[in-house]
Amino acid sequence: MIGVCSIQLSLSARPVSAGFRQLPPLVCVLTKQGQRLLSSIATSEQPSAAISLLRKFVASSSKHVALSTLSHLLSPSTSHPRLSSLAFPLYGIIEQESWFTWNSKLVADLISLLYKAERFDEADNLFGETVSKLGFKERDLCTFYCNLVDSHAKHMSERGVSDSCTRLKQLILASSSVYVKQKGYESMIAGFCEIGSPDKAENLMEEMRQNGLKPSAFELRTLVYGYGQMGLLEDMKRSVGQMEKEGFELDTVCYNMVLSSFGARNEFLDMLLWLKKMRNSGIPFSIRTYNSVLNSCPTVILLLEDMKSLPLSVNELVDNLKTGEADLVLELMKSDVLDQVMEWKSTELKLDMHGMHLSTAYLILLQWFKELKVRFGDGNHETPTEILVVCGSGKHSSKRGESPVKVLAKEMVTRMKCPLRIDRKNIGCFIGKGKTFKDWLCNEDSNKNPAEIIKAQV
């Protein structure tokens, strides 16, 4: 029996759908209706009223609203951890709806949540029901086991990952399907790396080879990530060497993993060497490259804590950094990332800062002002009709509706007396007339007082 507080709702008596299919993982943002429901239950003085509220909610909600609320409660990153146990009765109510389609991913998420709550008997019962439901459909069983490993890993449940991997390995050993074997090993390796056991993942990789299976770039990259996250940098570099030895080219994602791992340990020299290697190998830098590197620069992060005193030029920023951090910033600026996020047309010059962490947005803005001053000054670039800087309105920020990047841009624009303003039609953007902006930028020094000019030239 699965319950909430004093409430109990049986999952063993669920009606079985006549047909079912595997669905991709549900990734849903909590809707306003879902938020209201959870707020009502959280503030209710009568816990026993929860079931009634859940039933009314499902009956009056669309499929999307109901499932997104369930997905939110099942997520390890839910903003309502005290209410996560509501997922079990909510699932029981939802699956009785005519629109509900059974899928093993939801069940795997439920089982992992039961493990987290140490309700192992209930988890085993639900597991047994699901295996019986899937019968001898080998690929469907494999998908279910892989979903279990993934769900347990996201909850950082060592016992859950270990138990699921044991079951998955039994399926692999009994199967003649290369697909099942490859998919199973891939999932187990990722699961062990996620919970901080890359050594076990590497043992599985060796087992793959002994069974005639060749690890893919995904498995090897996952191992690099696993060792890097644990701070086992020599093992990480050894794994990178193994990737290259087996003929896999290192891509931007792999380099970013390595840079992030070095950055977490303040290994600035290693970061610089890998950035140079990345550039010399022709591997494109990305916004995430900037994020990984700049988030590892303590002085940059410290400067951003006081935006009213931020350096407002690249030269000033570099002068405020220690040598190791300054070298990293200068190396980043040799890339074409600014061109990736800037679109120049006769009608509009657009800078899109979506996906940038605060430190990245800061450097990109400094680069942007510097580069535009050069391009406008050389006379070879047409002046666009309008300037548009896209910051976002904070929908994906830690505090919904508050965009740190927008706050940063506003502070910089104000201090620099830049003729950009917040767009009334889209508060996540800054806009301005192209000619006015160009005239301001090319005469920027005239907007400064003598002390500021001297400081910038020193």
pLDDT single digits (tens) 387-439? 999 998 655 544 445 689 999 999 999 999 999 999 988 888 999 999 999 99
- State the pLDDT at residue 47: 64
Query: Strands 429-433, 421-422: parallel, antiparallel or unpaired by DSSP?
Result: antiparallel
* pLDDT range class, residue 41, cuts 50, 70, 90: confident
Cα separation of 250 and 267, whole Å?
Answer: 20
Where is pLDDT greater, at 455 or 60?
A: 60
Cα separation of 16 and 9, whole Å?
Answer: 16
340-375 pLDDT per residue, tens = 999 999 999 999 999 999 999 999 999 999 999 999
Cα separation of 150 and 160, whole Å?
Answer: 10
Where is pLDDT greater, at 319 or 40?
A: 319
Cα separation of 202 and 179, whole Å?
Answer: 20
157-181 pLDDT per residue, tens = 999 999 999 999 999 999 999 999 9
* pLDDT range class, residue 81, cuts 50, 70, 90: confident
Predicted confidence (pLDDT) at residue 377 exceeds the cutoff of 70: yes
Of 287, 224, 231, 233, nearest to 257 (Cα)? 224
The answer to whether 116 and 159 have CB atoms below 8 angstroms apart is: no
Q: Which of 13-22, 109-118, 336-345 has the lowest mean pLDDT?
A: 13-22
Q: Can you read off the two tokens belonging to residue 221?
A: 């990259």
Residues 6+ apart with CB under 8 A from 307: 407, 408, 411, 412
Predicted confidence (pLDDT) at residue 143 exceeds the cutoff of 70: yes
Q: Which of 65-74, 89-98, 171-180, 374-383 has the lowest mean pLDDT?
A: 374-383
Predicted confidence (pLDDT) at residue 4 exceeds the cutoff of 70: no
Q: Give me the mean pLDDT over the 183-199 stretch.
A: 97
| Bridge partners for 2 per DSSP | 9
- State the pLDDT at residue 451: 47
* Residue 351 DSSP one-character state: E
Q: Can you read off the two tokens belonging to residue 74?
A: 């099942």
- One-letter-per-residue 3-state SS of 235-289: HHHHHHHHHHHCCCCCCHHHHHHHHHHHHHCCCHHHHHHHHHHHHHCCCCCCHHH
Q: Can you read off the two tokens belonging to residue 159?
A: 């016992």
Q: Can you read off the two tokens belonging to residue 272?
A: 């610089």
Cα–Cα–Cα angle for 188, 184, 239, rounded to 5 degrees = 50
Q: Can you read off the two tokens belonging to residue 63?
A: 């499929």
Where is pLDDT greater, at 132 or 13?
A: 132
Of 4, 23, 24, 14, nearest to 129 (Cα)? 14
Q: How many helices (H) and strands (E) does the chain have?
A: 23, 7
* pLDDT range class, residue 45, cuts 50, 70, 90: low
| CA 386 to mean position of chain CA atoms | 32
Cα separation of 446 and 448, whole Å?
Answer: 5
- State the pLDDT at residue 149: 97
Q: Is the dihedral of CA 322, 352, 378, 414 positive or negative?
A: negative
Query: How many Cβ atoms are within 10 Å of 209's Cβ, its own excluded?
Result: 10
Q: Give me the mean pLDDT over the 239-256 stretch.
A: 94
| Domains by residue range for the chain, with CATH | 1-102 (no CATH), 307-457 (3.30.1370.110)
Q: Is 289 left (phi over 0), alpha (psi -120 to 50) or beta?
A: alpha
DSSP 303-345: HTT-GGG---SHHHHHHHS-HHHHHHHHHHTTSSHHHHHEEE-
Residue 357 is inside which H or E element, if any? none
Of 240, 414, 263, 366, nearest to 324 (Cα)? 263
Question: What mean pLDDT, rounded, does the chain reach?
Answer: 88
Q: Can you read off the two tokens belonging to residue 192?
A: 């062990």
Percent of the chain with pLDDT over 70: 88
Q: Can you read off the two tokens belonging to residue 330?
A: 């200068």
- State the pLDDT at residue 446: 52
